[in-house]
Chain A
Amino acid sequence: DIQMTQSPSSLSASVGDTVTITCRASQGIDNYLAWFQQRPGKAPKCLIYGASSLDSAVPPKFSGIRSGTDFTLTITGLQPEDFATYYCQQYTNYPFTFGGGTKVEIK
């Protein structure tokens, strides 16, 4: 199975900050990497698919980039609604596997 190592597990930031979350795959997954946002009590929502593609409904404050087997999610200009838990997931091989999650909290 492909292991997804996500870091940090939590972070504190202020409104307006820029934060970065990383995910490392234990083997090559090409660009089959997605980032999800989950607000408390809600279903996860896909922010980025294909490592760097955004749906038209997702604001461009979210961006993703791949470097080999390392993937990064960057959120610029944090707003109150962005304080949530973020997960990465590979979907190239079964079983699809998730990172452990990053909880973004208000400082």
Chain B
Amino acid sequence: EVEMLESGGGLVQPGGSLRLSCAASGFPFRIYAMTWVRQAPGKGLEWVSTISGGGDSTYYADSVRGRFTISRDDSKNSLYLLMSSLRAEDTAVYYCARYSPSDYIYWGVGTLVTVSS
């Protein structure tokens, strides 16, 4: 069974940093591109970043480029999102997700990040 569990969320001050983790299981993690998506309170869904299988390529939303860094450790079946220079508008639930061109799309349960002083 495919499972993804995010962790690392919490309260952080504006300008601060936070690292999110996503532990994946139930599928050959290393061959899949992995994605972060977020949802601000009461708002819609926003794609944040994707890293290719193997980690050679990364993609970012304009709203986070230069501040967020996506990475993966295939030996640990884990996905990460390092968030720096955080702003109030980064407050959201962050989900990790597995997308594939020809397969079901799996999402985790999310972790809440609150940026506030």
Contacts and interface: CB of A to CB of B under 8 A. Distances in A.
Interface of A: 32, 34, 36, 43-46, 49-50, 53, 55, 87, 89, 91, 94-98, 100-101
Interface residues of B, number: 23
A37 to B, nearest CB: 11
Contact of B47 (A36, A46, A98, A100): A98
A4 to B, nearest CB: 10
Contacts of B114: none
Nearest to A42: B109
Interface of B: 35, 37, 44-47, 50, 59, 61-62, 93, 95, 99, 101-110
Given A87-B44, A98-B45, A43 B50 contact: no
A36 B101 CA distance: 16
B105 A34 contact: yes
B44 A97 contact: no
Contacts of B35: 96
